[in-house]
Amino acid sequence: MTVQVELPCPKCKSTKMKFERAEIRETDIITCAACGHNLGTMASIRQKMNKAYQQLKQPSAARKLQ
C-alpha cells in the first residue's frame, strides 16, 4: 500500500514527504524528502490545518452577514 499526502514544506515548498512505514499513524513524524525539514507529527499537522481552515471560514461568514 502506498500513502500519498501532499503537504507543502514551509522551508523549501516541496510537497514530497518521507514516511517511516506504508501507513501513516498520528504519531509518525513527517519529514520533507527534499530538504529534511521536520514538519511535526501527523496529528499536529492535522490540528494546524484544521485551525487554519476554521480561521478562513469564520471571516467569510461574518462578511455575508454585513
Residues 6+ positions from 27 with CB-CB distance below 8 Å: 41, 42, 43
Answer whether residue 12 is part of any domain. Answer: no
pLDDT in tens, 47-57: 988 888 888 87
Residue 36 within any structural domain of the chain: yes
d(CA 63, CA 12): 34
- Asked if residue 3 is part of any domain, the answer here is no
Question: How far is residue 49's CA from residue 25's CA, in Å, rounded to a whole number?
Answer: 17
Residue 64 has a pLDDT of 57
**Position 8 in a domain:** no
Q: Which residue has the cell 516541496?
A: 14
Q: What is the mean pLDDT of residues 11-33?
A: 82
Overall domain count for the chain: 1
Does residue 58 lie within any of the structural domains?
yes
Domain that holds residue 24: 17-65
Contacts of 12 (CB under 8 A, 6+ apart): 32, 34, 35, 37
